[in-house]
Structure 1
Amino acid sequence: MPQPNTPDTPVSRFVAVAQSCIQASAQDPNASEHWRLFDELLVSFNDVAEQDALPLIEQIMNEGAMRFVARTLARRATERFAHNARAWYLYGRTALIISSDSPEAGPALERAWSIDPDADLLLPLCRAAAFVAGKQYPEAEAACHEMLRRAPDSADAYSNLAIAMRGQFRTNESIAAAEAALKIDPAHEHAPLNLALSLVDAWRFDDALTLLRHTIAQRPDDDRIRLPLGELELRLGIWQSGWSNMHARFSLPGLREQLRAREQECGVPHWRGEPLEGRTLGVWLEQGYGDSILLIRFLPLMAERVRALGGKLVFGCFGPLVELFRPLIPADVELNVDFLKQTDFHTPLMSLCAPFGFGNDTLPGEAYLGADDADVAQWRKRLGVGDGRLHIALTWTGNPQQTRNDIRSLPLAQLEELLATENVVFHSVNPAASALVATLRDKGFNVIDWGPELKDFITTAALLQAADGVVTTCTSIAHLAGAVGAPTLLMLDRVASFIWGAEHERTAWYDSIRIVRQAHYGDWSDVVARTREALTVQAKAASTRSK
């Protein structure tokens, strides 16, 4: 901030308060003095003329600790100078600086664009970033091209263009855009990751691996690179370094808070190989239900290793999974439901995979979970198994909060095509899908909704084991079906989760799963056709058996 020339002008008063605010923020941003100065700054801003207000906001934007203040001032500027495109631009830009997926940014930038597209050279680039955050990829593409028209050597524009192309399943164009960004700026912050992800989309796994390893060597503390590197290594069966690099997942906001809560709020240190003689090690589930079902197979071996080290294992389990997991929990392992009791050390379940060396030789593909035989028999009666028709448990979408849910889910048109398979009764185990199932039934499709009755995973497991087979997309149901050994057709998008590896039809994790993967990114037509073909063969066999 510049030094005030006189103490009596609105600008000099604002600058003086801003300097005090910056100093207070650097010392303690939560101090009451900081908030008093912030209020004073807003009041003084109201007296600053339009021609002076916006340059002052831009100066404050460059002060890291003052970015939230800059956003508030920019929002105030849009109230005072609603006709000024640059005020709206600064509001949108400061919102993006604070959070790349800010809901405030897009509307503000569009307002700026509607008033004056030339409000700032970087306005198209900011619009592209906001469109990317909102998954409006065609609009992001157009904004990137406008930015490149203005600044042909904008590496940022090419990097965002790579994301826009990838979001539209235009993999080769995405690769070309990311490579263009790196040609302009070899040290670009985001382009290496965008290129690596696009190379994975293209199944150029070796090229992606080389790029990620080269980048992490230059940026050893960049978890944004280390996490996809770990995922790719696990996809390719490079177990030790893959499991180790997966610790970078705790850079993600939700998981970071979970780790901080245990280590700082509960005062339990993360286990890093310390002696366990006479001590307790708390192991907890930090991932979703599907990953928990996947990794629980290792719990008995983990307990054995902890026991050999003289320690005692305490297992923190999600409530809905307790009855499903209970038979797998060793007798000397203490079960703690939904939260982890005070222990000497803690560690997430996945984090034990690296120190204990889990890999191919500890990766059983056979069933390791299962429901009670009597419950399975009861479900067979309820489903009508054996009546001459093929009875298939079905999921076509997962948790809508999952970042890839729109990519991994079967679109409605393809779902209806699948449901049209003759002599097949589909049993929906999708939660919260009753309204859609009712609509599908009204259209004449043979689908039954069991979602409201499936209150826990052990009940769902019994249904999956009772059915003739399972058809699912990449959801927790896929993991549950594989864990109980149910014959399963897994419909995957072209790349899908790293868990499903780099093979086309089989996975080392589950012997009972056959993968039906997209031949082309974003195209489900071939997946549905092959799934229907397999179901038709099974349906004919079911009809023959009943005669």
Structure 2
Amino acid sequence: MLAQVLKRAARVWADRGKRGREISPAAWEEIDARLASGDAENAEAVWVSLLRQNPESPVALHGLGRLQGMRGELATAGRNLAKAVRLKPDFTEAWIDLGNVQLTSDKPEEAESAYRRALAVDETSVLAWCNLGLCQQKRSQLTEASESFRRALDLNPRFGLALRHWVGIQTKLDWPDGAAELLERWADMVPDHAEAQAALGFMWLKHRFRPDLAITHFNRAVALGMNHAELHGNRGIALQDLGRIDEALASYDKALHLEPENRAVRFHRSLAKLLVHDFEQGWPDYELRLLNEECPRRALPFPRWDGTELSGKTILVYAEQGLGDEIMFASCLPDIIVRSGHCVIECHKKLAPMFRRSFPTATVHDGGQHDEPSGLSGLPPIDCCIPVGSLPLHFRRRLEDFPQHTGYLKADEARMSYWRRSLAGLGPGLKIGITWRGGTRQTRQSYRSMPLDTLVPLLEVSGAHFISLQYDECRDEIAKLGSVHGLTLHHFPAAIADYDETAALLGALDLVIGVCTAVVHLGGALGRPVWVMAPVGPEWRYGVTGGTMPWYPTCRVFRQAAPFAWEELILRVRNELIAYLDEN
């Protein structure tokens, strides 16, 4: 990897003035010709011959050391390059190549010193700034590296290596203030630069969650001749977020034609296939999620279950992803419980009371996804294990495999009775739960959420009482709804703070209406009537067409007609609610 970086960072010998006058034009022509033809061995022979004639030639020492460094002879290269800069302290290129050798030798401090010496000689050296950034990045100095790449790009916005690393750092730093504007400025300076357009598309897609704008820049990059797997993969994600699944699949296929084993592209293609209910093709590559660097590595001392006979054996099904995912994939737990001798279920502690109630023949362990294997001590002896998100690979291969259940999770009956009495005190009319915000900023919250006041046309419908199921801080929003619009949205924070209590509240409600969030999954898993308002390009769980979800027979899906077009969707839901109230 570092050898490749070193090769990319190497400069072509184009500026004869910087080479020094100690090498004859004929020698330069011979070296140029051999390097251009890839004949590094004979080019080295020329440098060696020149050094025999003049052992103190910094230019020949640099040329020889640079070739040796590219070949991996780091110690020898370092000695020659160090001698070159001793003889010629203002030799910028030699300092840069010495830094490259030190960086490749895993000596980042010495490398940084060499790059800074190069910049002390020539602070306009784009390569020195870029390589300094690479060095700082290796030392996990992300803020400093970002600044070094910025200096390189201010000097040359077309410097693709610096741009790619700068964008990667902004993603890790969650795009600090001013970063997006910097990228836009550089792109404006070079409107015909494909990499800048691809970077802009990435920013709009991953930072600002605007796939409609991202696709414009990705298309420009393609039109400008860029043909990278990463570009086609990101373009596929944008198309998928826009609900254009056929085009997304075509873009993923282009990416995989270039890089057949690109795991990120294969994973996102699997999500597109799951969106259109192609479960047979989707589930196998969905397993690639487990290789994501953000996925907890579970060093469990049990073999992975591969679908073989489980009679008389104990299997551990362990937790992964978020609460909504654990709830949804739990629909497969009855299948594995029946098939195994015994099932041990690891789940989030918020879900443990409900899972114990719902799966009484299983052993439920309230563990965390980052727990050490020692946390499983005291459980029955385990023969094999599987992450809960991998159960559908065995039990949901076709649409027909999804059961028409009436609820596989069970709320506490006593607490449901309590909430029925409490809600009855609100007066006559249906009791309807409401959510309007889902996920986090990193999980596209802005794309699948709306301001509370967008729901005003729905909340104005008479004959119903609306109850907030919003899990985060929302009291100010609810107060504003009352003061500005004169509408009441009841809120019971204690019921939201405890998931088992939330389940009891849901069990007492007549209907839940919400955006794509965990409460929707909980309501569907309890067998309660749920209406979900989905963006035009929802997560794969919700499908991309139709008004139903295979996971939850009691769930209806209302879909946007265009990105961020919530108002029109709310009016459709309002009309359906009026009809629903008339029927009930």
TM-score band (shorter)? Answer: 0.7 to 0.9
Distance 1:504 1:334 in 2: 37
| Change over 3 Å in CA distance of 1:504–1:164 after alignment to 2 | farther
> 2-side partners of 1:275 and 1:418: how far apart?
51
State the AA in 1 paired with 2:128.
E
Closer, same or farther: CA 70–388 of 1 in aligned 2, 3 Å: closer
SS of corresponding position for 2:400: helix
What corresponds to 2:265 in structure 1?
225
Aligned-pair distance for 1:6? Answer: 3.8
TM-superposed deviation, 1:518: 1.0
SS of 1:254's partner is coil
Q: TM-score, normalised by structure 1?
A: 0.76
Counterpart of 1:292, as a letter, is E
The 2-side partners of 1:56 and 1:69 are apart by: 20
- Change in Cα spacing, 1:21 to 1:381, as seen in structure 2 (3 Å) is same
User: Which SS does the other structure have where 1:496 is aligned?
Assistant: coil
Matched, 1:506 2:548: yes
CA contact (8 A) 2:317 2:387 kept: yes
Which structure 2 residues correspond to residues 237-276 of structure 1 after superposition, within 5 A? 237-255=277-295, 258=296, 260=297, 262-263=298-299, 266-272=300-306
Is residue 334 of structure 1 aligned with residue 373 of structure 2?
no
The answer on whether the counterparts of 2:146 and 2:169 sit within 8 Å (CA) in structure 1 is no
Partner of 1:126: none
2:458 maps to what in 1?
418
Report what 1:434 is aligned to: 475
Partner-residue secondary structure (3-state), 2:125: helix
> Structure 1 residue 382 and structure 2 residue 412: aligned?
no
Structure label with greater radius of gyration? 2
Say whether residues 1:313 and 2:392 are aligned partners. Answer: no
In structure 2, the CA distance between the partners of 1:484 and 1:402, relative to structure 1 (3 Å rule), is farther
Which amino acid counterpart does residue 24 of structure 1 have in structure 2? S
2:270 matched to 1:235? Answer: no
| 2:432–2:509 contact (8 Å) kept in structure 1 | yes
2:100/2:111 contact within 8 Å kept: no
Return closer, same or farther for 1:441/1:504 CA change in 2, 3 Å cut-off.
Answer: same
Query: Out of 218, 227, 246, which is 1:206 matched to?
Result: 246
1:370 aligned counterpart, secondary structure: coil
* Structure 1 residue 492, shift from structure 2 partner: 1.3
Give the whole-Å Cα distance in 1 for the aligned partners of 2:460 and 2:501.
27
> Is the 8 Å Cα contact of residues 67 and 98 (structure 1) preserved in structure 2?
no
* Deviates most, 495-504 or 292-301: 495-504
User: How far does residue 164 in structure 1 lie from its aligned partner after superposition?
Assistant: 6.6
In structure 1, C-alpha distance between the alignment counterparts of 2:278 and 2:431, rounded to whole Å: 38
Instruction: Tell me whether 1:298 sits opposite 2:332 in the alignment.
Output: yes
State the SS of the aligned residue for 1:388: coil
CA offset at residue 473 of structure 1? 0.6
1:362 and 2:384 aligned: no
CA contact (8 A) 1:395 1:428 kept: yes
Percent identical pairs in the alignment equals 23
Q: Cα distance, 1:336 vs. partner? A: 1.9
The secondary structure found in structure 1 opposite 2:572 is helix
CA separation of 1:95/1:204 partners in 2, compared to 1, >3 Å: closer, same or farther? closer
Asked if the contact 1:488/1:514 (under 8 Å) is kept, the reply is: yes
- The amino acid across from 1:363 in the alignment is F
1:7 aligns with 2:86: yes
Structure 2 residue identity aligned to 1:507: M
Q: C-alpha displacement at 1:188, in angstroms?
A: 1.5
- The answer to whether the aligner puts 1:465 opposite 2:507 as a matched pair is yes
SS for the counterpart of 2:122 is: helix
- Structure 1 gaps of 5+ residues are 26-33, 111-129, 543-547
Secondary structure at the residue paired with 1:472? Answer: strand
Match in the other structure for 2:498: 456
Counterpart check, 1:529 vs 2:571: yes
After superposition, the C-alpha distances for 1:354-382 in whole angstroms (9 at most, x for unaligned) are 24454323312432222133322210111
Aligned residues: 486
2:56 is matched with none
Q: Which residue of 2 aligns with 1:22?
A: 103
The one-letter code matched in structure 2 to 1:456 is: D
Matched residue SS, 1:253: coil
Shift in Å, 1:526? 1.0
Distance 1:24 1:359, change over 3 A: same
Q: Which amino acid aligns with 2:99?
A: A
Q: Match of 2:534?
A: 492
Change (3 A) 1:240 1:540: closer
Q: Structure 1 residue 414: deviation in Å?
A: 0.5
What is the TM-score of this pair, normalised by structure 2? 0.71
Gaps of 5+ in 2: 1-9, 11-65, 67-80
User: CA RMSD of the aligned region, Å?
Assistant: 4.0
Displacement of 1:387 in angstroms is 2.6
